């Protein structure tokens, strides 16, 4: 897909956190000219057609590419579960749940970069985009190095076997090595994963997901090879967790080396003002990521502590089937983030509202039909998929609760994409905070009473009464803020300063 913005008749107003210190230097004459500019109707129609084509192409290519990548975890899970055993596999999944909760370790800079680059895609200012990219890479690389040093120095200070409730002494000996591998791969991947945000912002969603699918397939191939040669369990886990950062590195080299060399991160392009701007917006995403990541990924740890690692391993396998559905929802809706950012920068609220409504219906349908199949035949699928006596029979209420939870996630996803595209995250923050407060004690209580079914029921109930209503409220506020900004000459002038500055002189 061409890395160029759709044509438009007027400079788009930039919404949240787009103005930095240099904007104060713009003259009143420039501001007046910018405020008065209005897009022609044919240009608006052309921009909508271009945006719609990009969105459909991005969704279709993402689904096709990720469908290939989904084969990998389906292969890895039964092989790894049987080879590692229930307790060692459960320990690995518990550690993985902790790394998943640490997705906020980039302080929201990846999401902040996506939002800012989406606006710059609308203006076509690649020089400023290169500076945003270089500043983000510099900041996250320094952060990853510092966290790696902390990890290495502290690995002996935490009693990981006791913390993870490991009973088998043989498994306990591998605990620190697995922690080092999982957290180390995660930290290395913090700056390397920025390539995905850059590609998404420039409407190259399919290309990004094809690289991610390749990473999953390489991971599966390495695990199968390690098991085939009877490698040590730690090496099998290493093969699974190191493939993703290696493929992100290869993607970055190809993208910045040959496809977009003018966007290549360079030290000379790093700017303190860009770092501050990314931090301002990124910290909003950081707070949101802290809450949502913990709320969504704490189940593995809680189940391991309350019901034991055997139950945690079983729950992780069951949850992985529904995670496939949630993954499809994410793939379908992520292209909306940059598309909404570009559309709202142009004030095209009508397109955003119509597209969001359609994506809500599509996301719900994508999840509901497969979820019904899992409710009706989930145990048969598990027996065919994971051939192990360690896997327990799953009660139907557990499947039903996870299905409802998945549908709730699907309905909320398109609403979140609108809020993320303009950086209005207050409603989401409140919803996830209340969800976490409600969910943790409720899961502990229902786990003791109903086992794994109680954990799943608590997930569905807490999400449905907290996060889902917050998603609706935040969506309405985001659209209302754009409409109010366009009708307010002072706000339009404020946004016009940023656009005029980027169009007439470098940042």
pLDDT greater at residue 347 or residue 74:
347
- Rounded distance between C-alpha atoms, residue 197 and residue 335, angstroms: 11
Q: What tokens were used for 363?
A: 């996301």
Mean pLDDT for the chain overall: 80
pLDDT digits (tens, 9 = 90+) for 122-166: 777 889 999 999 999 999 999 999 999 998 888 888 888 888 888
The predicted model gives 442-465 an average pLDDT of: 90
Confidence of residue 190 (pLDDT cuts 50, 70, 90): very high
Give the residue carrying structure tokens 């990219």: 133
- Rounded distance between C-alpha atoms, residue 65 and residue 420, angstroms: 24
- The neighbour count for residue 484, using CB atoms within 10 Å, is 10
Note whether 298 and 440 are within 8 A (CB).
Answer: yes
- Residues whose CB is less than 8 angstroms from the CB of residue 12 and which lie 6 or more positions away in sequence, other chains included: 119, 122, 123, 342, 345, 346, 347, 499
User: Whole-angstrom distance between the N-terminal and C-terminal Cα of the chain?
Assistant: 27
| Residue 27 clears pLDDT 90, i.e. is over it | no
pLDDT digits (tens, 9 = 90+) for 39-87: 566 667 776 776 777 677 767 767 766 666 666 777 778 888 889 988 8
DSSP conformational letter for 2: -
| Residue 504 clears pLDDT 60, i.e. is over it | no
- The neighbour count for residue 372, using CB atoms within 10 Å, is 13
Q: What tokens were used for 14?
A: 């930039």
């Amino acid at each position: 897909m061409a890395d160029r913005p759709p044509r438009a008749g007027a400079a788009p107003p930039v919404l949240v956190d787009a103005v930095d210190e240099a904007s104060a230097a713009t003259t009143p004459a420039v501001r007046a000219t910018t405020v008065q500019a209005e897009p022609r109707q044919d240009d608006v129609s052309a921009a909508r057609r271009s945006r719609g084509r990009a969105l459909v192409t991005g969704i279709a290519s993402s689904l096709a590419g990720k469908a290939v990548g989904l084969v990998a975890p389906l292969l890895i899970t039964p092989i790894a579960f049987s080879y590692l055993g229930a307790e060692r596999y459960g320990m690995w999944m518990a550690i993985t749940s902790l790394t998943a909760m640490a997705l906020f370790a980039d302080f929201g800079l990846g999401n902040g970069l996506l939002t800012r680059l989406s606006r710059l895609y609308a203006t076509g200012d690649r020089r400023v985009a290169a500076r945003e990219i270089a500043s983000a890479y510099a900041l996250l690389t320094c952060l990853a190095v510092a966290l790696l040093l902390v990890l290495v120095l502290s690995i002996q200070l935490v009693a990981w076997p006791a913390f993870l409730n490991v009973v088998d002494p043989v498994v306990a000996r591998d605990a620190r090595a697995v922690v080092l591998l999982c957290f180390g791969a995660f930290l290395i991947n913090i700056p390397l994963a920025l390539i995905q945000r850059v590609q998404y912002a420039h409407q190259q969603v399919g290309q990004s997901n094809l690289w991610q699918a390749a990473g999953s397939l390489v991971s599966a191939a390495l695990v199968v090879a390690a098991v085939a040669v009877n490698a040590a369990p730690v090496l099998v886990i290493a093969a699974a967790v190191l493939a993703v950062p290696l493929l992100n590195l290869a993607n970055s080299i190809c993208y910045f080396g040959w496809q977009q060399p003018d966007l290549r991160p360079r030290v000379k392009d790093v700017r303190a003002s860009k770092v501050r701007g990314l931090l301002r917006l990124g910290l909003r995403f950081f707070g949101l990521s802290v809450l949502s990541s913990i709320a969504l990924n704490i189940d593995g740890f809680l189940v391991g502590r309350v019901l034991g690692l055997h139950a945690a391993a079983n729950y992780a396998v069951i949850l992985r089937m529904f995670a496939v559905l949630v993954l499809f929802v994410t793939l379908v809706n992520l292209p909306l983030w940059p598309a909404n950012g570009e559309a709202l920068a142009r004030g095209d609220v009508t397109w955003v509202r119509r597209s969001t409504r359609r994506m809500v219906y599509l996301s719900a349908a994508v999840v509901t039909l497969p979820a019904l199949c899992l409710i009706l035949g989930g145990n048969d699928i598990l027996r065919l998929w994971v051939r192990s006596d360690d896997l327990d029979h799953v009660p139907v209420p557990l499947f039903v609760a996870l299905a409802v939870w998945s549908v709730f996630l699907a309905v909320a996803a398109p609403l979140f994409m609108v809020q993320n595209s303009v950086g209005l995250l207050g409603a989401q923050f409140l919803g996830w905070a209340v969800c976490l407060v409600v969910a943790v004690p409720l899961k502990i209580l229902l786990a003791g009473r109903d086992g794994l079914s109680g954990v799943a029921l608590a997930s569905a109930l807490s999400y449905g009464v907290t996060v889902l209503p917050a998603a609706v409220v935040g969506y309405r506020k985001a659209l209302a803020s754009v409409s109010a900004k366009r009708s307010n000459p002072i706000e339009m002038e404020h946004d016009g300063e940023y656009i005029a500055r980027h169009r007439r002189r470098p940042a």
